Chain A
Amino acid sequence: MLDHSQLPRVKVLAVTPLYLPFLGGIEVFVDALAQKLSPLSIDTVVITDSGKNESYSDVVRGTAVHRFPMSRAIMSRNAKEPLTVLQSVGKVLADVKPDIVHLHSATQAGVFFMDRLIQRMPRRPPLVITQHAMLAEADELAVTRRLLKEADIVTGVSAAVLDCAVGYSGRSGRSEMIFNGISAPEQPQAPRTMPKRHNLLCVGRMQHEKGFDLAIEALALVRSKGVDADLSLIGGGDEQPLFDRLARKLAISEHVHFLGPMTNANARKVMAETSILLMPSRLREGFGLVAAEAAFAGTPCIASRTGGLPEVVQEGETGYLIEEEDVEALADTIVSLLGDEPRWYRLSENARQRAPARFDLDRCIARYAELYQSLTGGSA
């Protein structure tokens, strides 16, 4: 048995768009990586955006985090601001002396600063990029293309994302698909029975791209077919009033419940009492974290056939896929599934039983530990 305490510690500089206490898929995932890699003699230092006009450093759950106003500096259109941030990030890089730089997304403000700095280093540390989002070929993004091409290893959170990143950059180097790992719920989910009251759920930012308006329209159709169902929405965002107005216009506002932002633990409790999770996204979702969390909860999912969602939602096995914008197909699929309890149970059980293996956090972490090890000659 390898005694990791005897190994030289390896420093990974993780560059993320944001970090805790901001919560998003990347932030939660990098925190889990940092926590789980530390006992394996791998230390993570985070460089991220402060989301404010100021720079500051803190320690979050044992991880050193250096925050800079990277995005705002770029948006300032004043050359002095990105230069000042560049100098500050450079000081951290010089202090940390990372063995590996890991960019969590090649499309974030931090990419500009890291690109400038690592180009100036006499010996660039190995570069890993984990791509979380689909890229649009029409976007030039020269720095993103170049870094994706030159990185020592590129990983994608789904095959769709990885294929997109490889095609976009024309890279020929090592590339791997690693599904995002997800922590199992505190209490393992027992087999479910279909909730007596039909309740549908959407989770995410209240924005047009998530397609929650399509879910509301589908609910109206579902109810018009005589199926008594409600829809709850978890999350915050600027477009909630639009969704609220749509529900009122369709005369179903008493059946649409805006639950607001929630902790991840609470959101997952709600998922575990839900009939069907809906993800009628217009975004080319890279992975579909919420769909994976729903699978742990034994909740079938109906999602758009876009991005990485068809890999997370197994058609006819753990849920169904519909074409983007197809409200009628969404409504028909909901009605059909709610009217077939044995089928609902089969999907629920498939999702519940397969999720721990498909989205296992420890296995995901182990894959990253192996990647790091391969780049540091085995010391990680």
Chain B
Amino acid sequence: MTTRFAVDPSNISHERLQDEVIIINVGSGAYFSGTGPTADMWTLVSQGATLDEAAGVLARTYSADEATVRQDLGGCVEHLLALGILSPAEGTVQAAAVLALPDLPRGEWAAPKFEEYSDMWDLLKYDPIHDVNETGWPYAAPIVRE
């Protein structure tokens, strides 16, 4: 499988910090978050790895069966393609020269799966914090920070 994948920077914001990756669909307000194998899979695929290349790296990293890893990756990537988080790369996209993963302690391999927070804007709609200031609502604040 030689397909590489692209992330549209105008619609998708993604970042990894240590073991956690967060992906935001800026248009819809959907958040996706994952750790461990999920974060590693994202790191590789977003570096331009094909599924076969990513499976090879992950199988070595997790001492797991490559065919199993390859199958697990396929399911997750298919889901991300359906959500528009990834798209098949057009033209000649090169993978990073070295497909690198951060040096972190790792557990056992598990099929990658993002936790989906599909309605963050709705969540914030309930949160009063964006319409208050330090004069409070409705009362003025009598307490000075100690």
Contact = CB atoms under 8 A, between A and B. Distances in A.
Interface in A196-244: 203-205, 207, 234-238
B136 A107 contact: no
B117 A112 contact: yes
A136 to B, nearest CB: 9
Contacts of A107: 123, 126-127
B124 A109 contact: yes
Interface stretch (A77-85, A170-178, A313-321, A355-363): A77-85
A108 B136 contact: no
A352 to B, nearest CB: 22
A61 B142 CA distance: 12
B128 A236 contact: no
A144 B138 contact: no
Given A23-B136, A74-B124, A83 B20 contact: yes
A77 B31 CA distance: 9
B143 A61 contact: yes
B31 A141 contact: no
Interface string B99-143: 000000000000000011111101111111111111111111111
Interface residues of B, number: 45
A83 B17 CA distance: 7
A8 interface: no
B22 A79 contact: yes
A83 B142 CA distance: 34
B143 to A, nearest CB: 5
A264 interface: yes
Interface string B47-86: 0000000000000000000000000000000000000000
B15 A51 contact: no
A21 B117 contact: no
A119 B115 CA distance: 10
A78 B129 contact: no
A58 B139 CA distance: 21
B134 A51 contact: yes
29 contacts: A18-B129, A22-B134, A22-B141, A24-B137, A58-B145, A60-B145, A74-B120, A74-B123, A74-B124, A77-B26, A78-B13, A79-B24, A80-B17, A86-B17, A105-B127, A108-B126, A109-B127, A109-B129, A111-B123, A112-B31, A112-B123, A135-B126, A143-B117, A205-B138, A207-B131, A237-B138, A261-B135, A261-B139, A263-B139
Interface of B: 13-18, 20, 22-24, 26, 31, 33, 35, 115-120, 122-146
Interface of A: 17-18, 20-24, 49, 51, 58-61, 71, 74-75, 77-80, 82-84, 86-87, 105, 107-109, 111-112, 115-116, 119-120, 133, 135, 139-144, 203-205, 207, 234-238, 261-265, 267
